[in-house]
Structure 1
């Protein structure tokens, strides 16, 4: 039976998402299971990543087993990643059509230490695997005229200027001058090139997130750095390209970066690209990276949220309980409300692409939308950190500690102990 025939909305939704994602990236997307609805990670079918320190080991073992695996030799890509701290290899045609994971299995059996070479994984907005590639839901219309969570008042005195960079799908410029969304005045970003007649998938994702940050930190300088301009990539980007985007974001000298994107990986090993980015840029900087925990309802690590140096954020419903879709465990250092946010969104016509609403038309005419996912929980925390920096003039690391210290431990019947941000719009348990 074809996977599309399975009578389960969750599986159909994942299959819809994955097929659309593959089309958007010209078939340069592979997954680690036979049925697309069962995937746990996505990767480029012909690339591997190797840290500079491990290049000799990788090339030596690849030569030893090359005739058995390859019709040719792996070659270094002609791009410089993270100051050449990370090397991307292009694999030649394989002798028996082996996948990248099968090639890595063979290299590790021949003596390469596990994790020294990894697939080039696909990173996706509000991402997931094993059940949900995209946001928890598609955007929904709303008649509300004010954002939720609501706007915080401006500070009487700003002790320190704060810059927040939202690395996401791009920016809807008209939202900054729209009288319906005045909290976005002064926000800048890479134009996502919306077509109001046919809003693309993930249109407004970065704008919505910038709106959440600005509602909580109205004095912050916010910039949206776009990686899927005009819909290119279908809301996704390879991790090797994502870290280049993060390098660009660091040039703005931000105190906070919000990344509502991430990925699962082969064997759940740490992402080589994100880890190298941290070592080369973030470790010695005054910048906090806040990342969405993902929407797979799993405790499996989701990168970069699962790294100890990132602030991973899971989602709560308005009643203070963890959202059904939210990841938990190592990927969620803290939980904030992520269900049914209302914030800025471009006007236009949107055709739903996912089961069970696939084919439905939604009309956005109020400058606003309603949306759910860990994507929107993350900027709550990013905004609170930015506000604390501006109010108290402290370092980003100290502000992060202070904000997380406001959280309270609670017990959820499914996931066990977790933290809940105590804030006026988050109900007490």
Structure 2
């Protein structure tokens, strides 16, 4: 099992997050290192994802070498993923207790092309730690402020309404009618079923993000597509389930999707699940996906932010410098404010679950919270793209290009050229 205790606060936070995910998903969480704090990706211990076009090759090699790997036969799971374009296989018990990555190593040695079969990775909205997780960078904090930050700006003239879907942990419906958060009016979504006496980890995440989008782009219709409703999942969802949620999001005909979640992958290979979703549902559509770059302080690819078809967003501090927790490189096409944002949050009692604040009780009673992470820089950019569409009546792709084109280049000796969005919205 590795050592759950040794390490600094950052490593201990990683083990805290992993413990919470394991408790919520008993028997379904594995990682790629001996020490839990050092993991770079998380995966289901018995599932493999294969694109339909590669199924025949995969099944043929499994038949050829399976006797020396398995005590039974691998079977195709009876689920419909992306119209059958993505297949999920369940591996039987292994002869020598090999992990899924070990099995894939052996299948590739037997001739399977690398990347044609992948683990079913865990996509997560928790803070960064050892790796493989994403935002927020800290647990939510109380604030005495009565106005959101960034404040955004009014839209006096618009040429069209814009549909934005926030794919996240759900939505806190009282925020839409709370007089303290009037900008939330009209936002709808899947109720995350909050209990004020005990706010769960990641409660309010989707609500906060929807509020950031609305402040950036007041003339938007926002729907929060929820996963982990009622705390199920511990803030995580498997790739094979996430693409189903993204399919649901497409039913709302969005021009912009905000996904403040993601994952590292085996050998840092592109996520087959997200790529298949793009090819089946996004390619050729007037819709832009904006994704958080992740909070692991690394240049390693974080999916889906690292894809060239998505807009990956890293985090800036208030002084315009890249936040120390933010990922950079291929996962960050642009950087926006991600430190100490203020927006809508459910009232209630919250107990911190992560080092160094574990056990700390925070009481939220202003309808808002302060939060940091690339989770919250992503909706700044998603909102600016939506605003560009509504003000000028342009396509989502054109709006994306115009927003990114207004970013400015700077030089940072640790990460090379980077972009930061200009005032007045960041």
**What's the TM-score once normalised by structure 2's chain length?**
0.98
Matched with 1:285 is 285
Q: How many corresponding residue pairs?
A: 425
Structure 2: how far apart are the matches of 1:73 and 1:353? Answer: 40
Q: Give the match's secondary structure for 1:254.
A: coil
Q: Is 2:312 the counterpart of 1:341?
A: no
Give yes or no for contact 1:256–1:386 (8 Å, CA) kept in 2. yes
Structure-2 residue corresponding to 1:231:
231
> Counterpart of 1:46 in 2: which secondary structure?
strand
Deviation at 1:338, TM superposition (A): 0.2
> Which residue is 1:161 aligned to?
161
SS, match of residue 4 in structure 2: helix
Contact 1:293 1:327 in 2 (8 A): yes
Residues 198-213 of structure 1: pairs in structure 2 closer than 5 A: 198-213=198-213
Distance in 1 between residues matched to 2:100 and 2:9, nearest whole Å: 30
Query: Match of 2:115?
Result: 115
Paired residue secondary structure (1:165)? strand
Change (3 A) 1:52 1:158: same
TM-fit CA distance, 1:157: 2.5
**Aligned mates of 1:72, 1:307 — CA distance in 2:** 36
Partner of 2:151: 150
Residue 419 of structure 1 and its aligned partner are, at CA, apart by 0.5
- 1:421 paired to 2:421: yes
CA shift digits 1:257-311 (9 cap, x unpaired)? 0000000000000000000000001002110000000000000000000000000
Aligned-partner Cα distance in 1 for 2:334–2:219: 24
Offset of residue 161 of structure 1? 1.6
- The 3-state SS of whatever aligns with 1:243 is helix
Shift of 1:4: 3.4
Equivalent residue, structure 1, for 2:173 = 173
Q: How does 1:133-144 map to 2 (within 5 A)?
A: 133=133, 135-144=136-145
Q: Describe the superposition over 1:203-238 as per-residue Cα deviations: whole angstroms up to 9, x where unpaired.
A: 000000000000010110001000110000011100
Instruction: Find the counterpart in structure 2 of residue 368 from structure 1.
Output: 368
**1:425, 1:57 → 2: CA distance?**
50
Shift of 1:131: 4.5
SS for the counterpart of 2:63 is helix
Measure the CA separation in 2 of the matches of 1:228 and 1:128.
19
Distance 1:378 1:158, change over 3 A: same
Q: Are residues 314 and 77 of structure 1, via their aligned partners in 2, closer, same or farther at CA, if it must alter by over 3 Å?
A: same
Contact 1:126 1:373 in 2 (8 A): no
Q: How much has 1:29 moved relative to structure 2? A: 0.3
- Give the CA deviation at 1:180: 0.3
Contact 1:125/1:135 (CA < 8 Å) preserved in 2? yes
| Cα distance between partner residues in 1 of 2:48 and 2:184 | 40
SS in structure 2 at match of 1:3: coil
Which residue pairs with 2:59 in the alignment?
A: 59
Distance 2:259 2:95 in 1: 39
Q: TM-score, normalised by structure 1?
A: 0.97
Find the residue that maps to 2:84 and give its secondary structure. coil
**What residue number does 2:21 align with?**
21
C-alpha distance in 2, partners of 1:130/1:195?
Answer: 30
| Alpha-carbon distance between aligned partners in 1 of 2:404 and 2:425, rounded to the nearest angstrom | 16
Is the alpha carbon distance of 1:337 and 1:126 closer, same or farther for their aligned partners in structure 2, counting shifts above 3 Å?
A: farther
Contact 1:10–1:131 under 8 Å retained in 2: no
1:6: how far off? Answer: 1.7
3-state SS of 2:83 partner: coil
Name the counterpart of 2:256: 256
1:187 aligns with 2:176: no
Aligned-partner Cα distance in 2 for 1:157–1:261: 33
